[in-house]
A and B are shown apart, each in its own frame.
Chain A
Amino acid sequence: MSPAARRSAPAAADLKEKRELFRKVAVVGVDECDEIGIVPHKSVLQLHAEAARNALADAGIDKSEVDAVLTCSAGWASSLQVAEYLGITPSYTDSTAVGGSSFVIHVEHAAAAIAAGICNVALITHGETGHSNRFRQGAGRPGLDPWFPAPQFEAPYHVGGAPTNYALACMRHMHEYGTTHEQLAEIAVATRKWAQLNPKAMMREPLTMEDVLSSRWITYPFHLYDCCLVTDAGGAVVVTSAERARDCRKSPVWVLGSGEATTHQSISQMPDLTQTPARHSGARAFSMAGVRPEEIDVVEVYDSFTYTALVTLEELGFCAKGEGGPFVSGQRTAPGGDLPMNTHGGGLSYTHPGMYGIFLIIEAVRQLRAECGERQVPGAKLALVNGTGGVLSSTGTLILGAD
C-alpha cells in the first residue's frame, strides 16, 4: 500500500478550516541566542532573552509590538515566566509542551490566533541548557506522581534517556523492513557534511561510515553517532500577519501549510512502532499547502536519532513506507544530493539542547531567504519542517514558502 493510502484522511471540515490559514501569516524573524554549544555561564532565561532580542531585530519589530508569547522551556507555566522576564504583558500566551515538536506546533497555534484577530505579533522562544544542567545543582526533571502510568509500568524496568524508546521503535522497523545500521549511518554522515558548512555547528570534524559503525553502542541498535548531541542553546521565531509582514526588515516567509498530530505518550501505547504521527500532521500540512513531497526544495526534520529522520521521511511520503533505508543511501540527503536535509547539521551535529524544534524553523527560514552561505540550497523556494516530540508521540509539520 502506498504511504498516501495508508494515511488516514483528515476530515473535510478540518481541511476547509485549515485552508483559511493558508498564507495568512508569515515568519518574519529568526535567530539563535548569542552563543550555542556549551554555555555553562548562562541561564536558561538568558538564552530565551538573547534569542528573542536577536529574532526581533532580524524582523525589525520592536518588543513593544509583541502581543503573544509562546514557549515551553521555562518551567511551570513557561509562557508566563518568559513574558514576565522579557517585560511583555501579552494578550495571548501558549505554553503547549509536547516535547521537541512544541515550537513547530506553536507556529500553527500562533497562526490560528493571528488569523482569528486575537494577536498580531507572536514571539516563540526557546532556551535550554541540556548540557550544563548535568553540572548545575538542583537541575533535573521533577518527579512524577507515583500513581501515573510511567512510574508503575516503565520505571521498574528501566530508567534512562530517550535512546531506549527510540531504539525500540527502530528495532521493530529493522525487523519489519530490513533497515540496516549502514542505512542509519548514511544519515549521520550526510548530516555531518552539512555541519561542516555551518560555522555555528558544534561537530565539524569529518565523519565516515566506518567511524559511525565502529562507534560504541549506546542502546542497541544505536551507535553513538546515531544519537543527537546534548548542548546548551536557545532560539526564537517571530510570526505575524500578512499585513504586518509587508513592513518587516526582510522578505516574509509564508506559512503555506501546517499540521499537528499526537498518537500516544508512552512507547507501550504507540499504535504501531514503525509509524509516527507525522503521517497525519504531514498529510494536513501538504493538503493545506496544496503541494506534494517532490516539490519540496529543502527538508528540516527532527533527528534526535538517525532513525527519527529516516522514519519521518517515510511518514511524510518522501518515499514509500519501509523504503527509508534504501532512500537515504548513497548520501541522498547530503550537500549535492537529491534531497537536502538538515542543512545546518541537524541535532546530530549542529546543536540539540534537549528540545530542538525551533532550530528546524530557523534553518528553513534562512534557506528560503538565501542567507545560508556555503550551505545554501540554490533557489530554495519551498521548505518542509517536521518536529517530533516525546517518544515519537507528537509531531508538528510546517510547509514554508518564499515569494
Chain B
Amino acid sequence: MSQQTYRKPVPTPSPETKRYWEGCKNHELWLPYCRSCERFFFYPRDFCPRCFSWDVEWRRSKGRGKLYSFAIHYRVWHPAWAAEVPYVTALVELDEGVRLYTNLVDVDADPKKIRCDLPVEVVFEDVSEEISLPKFRPLDSRS
C-alpha cells in the first residue's frame, strides 16, 4: 500500500518503545524482558510491571504463538478501514508468554475458518518510512 493512501493511525514511538519499533522496521519482533523475574512483559516500559525491577533488556521473539481470541468486524468504525470489512482483530499470545493486540491476516474473515488457539506467526506490514506493523497469520497459510 502506498504511503499516500495509508490513512490508518500510525504509531509514534516513545522513548520507552523506540527499540520495539526499530525492531519491527527490520521485520524482527523484539520484546522487553525482566532479568529479575526472568520473564517477558508487554507493552514496553523502563521497568517490569510484575516485580517493579528496572533491570530489563530487549530480547528477540521467535514471532510465533497462538490466537488467544479474535473478533470479526462487519461494520466500518473508522473510514480508513472502509475497504477492508470484514476484517479480524486478534489477541495473540506469543510463545514467550505475552499478548499482543493485532490483526489476523492472510485468512478468510469467516468465523467458520478461524478458531481460538490457532498457531500463528508474525508478518510485517510496512506502513511508513519508519513504521512496520507486526500482524499475524495462521502458520499453515505460508506459501
Interface residues of A (CB under 8 A from B): 146-147, 149, 151-161, 163-164, 167-169, 171-172, 175-176, 216-221, 266-269, 273
Contact = CB atoms under 8 A, between A and B. Distances in A.
Nearest to B49: A269
A220 B100 CA distance: 19
Interface residues of B, number: 40
5 contacts: A146-B11, A158-B87, A175-B115, A217-B72, A219-B74
B99 interface: yes
Given A149-B43, A157-B89, A164-B71, 13 more contacts: A151-B9, A152-B17, A153-B101, A157-B133, A158-B87, A159-B81, A160-B78, A164-B89, A217-B74, A218-B75, A219-B71, A219-B74, A268-B91
A266 B75 contact: no
A152 B91 contact: no
B14 A172 contact: no
A187 B131 CA distance: 44
Contacts, number: 110
Contact of B99 (A146, A219, A268): A268
Given A164-B89, A221-B111, A172 B68 contact: yes
B75 A219 contact: yes
A157 B103 contact: yes
B6 to A, nearest CB: 10
A155 B9 contact: yes
Contacts of B42: 268
Contacts of A269: 99
A268 B100 contact: yes
B103 to A, nearest CB: 5
Contact of A168 (B77, B78, B91): B91
A217 B87 CA distance: 13
B69 A220 contact: no
Nearest to A161: B77
B69 A171 contact: yes
A152 B74 contact: no
A175 B12 contact: no
Contacts of B106: none
Interface string B42-78: 1100000000000000000000000011111111011
Given A151-B11, A268-B91, A164 B73 contact: yes
A168 B69 contact: yes
A179 to B, nearest CB: 12
5 pairs of A and B residues whose beta carbons are closest in the complex? A160-B77, A167-B71, A147-B14, A220-B72, A175-B116
B8 interface: yes
B8 A156 contact: yes
A217 B135 CA distance: 24
Contacts of B103: 157-158
A267 B17 contact: no
B139 interface: no
A27 B80 CA distance: 47
B97 to A, nearest CB: 13
A168 B89 contact: yes
Contacts of B11: 146, 151-153, 155-156
B89 to A, nearest CB: 5
B23 to A, nearest CB: 14
A229 to B, nearest CB: 16
Nearest to A273: B69
A333 B42 CA distance: 40
B12 A147 contact: yes
Contacts of A273: 68-69, 91
